[in-house]
Structure 1
Amino acid sequence: MSRQASGLMAWVIQRATAVYLAIFLAYLLIHFAFNAPADHAALTVWVAHPLVALGLLLFVPLLLAHAWVGIRDVLIDYVHALGLRIGLLTLFAFVFVASGLWAFKAIITAGLQG
């Protein structure tokens, strides 16, 4: 893939993920504004609903992809020392992977308990 195509691909990923994130966050805001769970058990039951769990399981990697493209672009633009840039990209990659695994575990655990 050429360098220009990778820039276009990053742009497409950023925009496509932003659309889903905006729609899902609007759904969450509306749902919790009008039907907030009374306690943790009610929240767990709500997360255990297959469509909600699927939406959340899709939300996590899309959020991480969106964040990765954004952080990568900022680091490429503003961190000029190659070693520092690679170190920061590696650090963010580990943080994002760990966060994604933690989120998947939380969603799956809540789904199993509900």
Structure 2
Amino acid sequence: MKKALSGLRAWTVQRFTAIYMLLAFLFAFVHFAWNAPHGFEAWRAWIGGPFVRIATLLFFVALLLHTWVGLRDVMMDYIKPLALRVALLALLGFYLVGMAAWVMRILLLL
């Protein structure tokens, strides 16, 4: 029962993050189709607004969660030696945490 719930949880995270990222891409596409920033300062003003900054942060959280769940499941399915799997999952986790810190730094310095 617990393994089935874990699979359902991973499936749900994958779907919700994919839907959020799709909606964010559609929003950005529509926005840039009608009101594209014409220069660095216009781009910085747009991305620095509170709504867009929070939406961008949520986009990257969704992207990192989506990446973690997908790659974790692939590694769990196809990498059989436990020590290698744990080492690769730890490396992936450190990499994704580093990417999250980098995104936070960029968004906070705007």
* Fold-level similarity (TM above 0.5): yes
Tell me the equivalent position of 1:22: 22
Structure 1 unaligned regions, length at least 5 = none
The one-letter code sitting in structure 1 at the alignment partner of 2:20 is Y
**Identity across the alignment (%):** 40
- How many residues matched? 110
Tell me the equivalent position of 1:12: 12
Q: CA deviation at 1:16?
A: 0.9
Tell me the equivalent position of 1:108: 108
TM-score by length of 2: 0.92
Q: Which SS does the other structure have where 1:99 is aligned?
A: helix
The one-letter code sitting in structure 2 at the alignment partner of 1:55 is A
Q: Which SS does the other structure have where 2:109 is aligned?
A: helix
Instruction: Output the aligned Cα RMSD.
Output: 1.4
The 2-side partners of 1:94 and 1:40 are apart by: 32
Q: CA deviation at 1:26?
A: 1.2
The 2-side partners of 1:100 and 1:46 are apart by: 21
Q: CA deviation at 1:22?
A: 0.5
The 2-side partners of 1:88 and 1:25 are apart by: 30
Matches within 5 A, 1:53-68: 53-68=53-68
Q: Deviations over 1:18-42 (max 9, x none)?
A: 1101100111122223332222222
The 2-side partners of 1:39 and 1:25 are apart by: 21
The 2-side partners of 1:2 and 1:72 are apart by: 17
The 2-side partners of 1:68 and 1:27 are apart by: 24
Instruction: Between the two structures, name the one with larger relative contact order (CA 8 Å, sep ≥ 6).
Output: 1
TM-score by length of 1: 0.89
Structure 2 unaligned regions, length at least 5 = none
Matches within 5 A, 1:26-37: 26-37=26-37
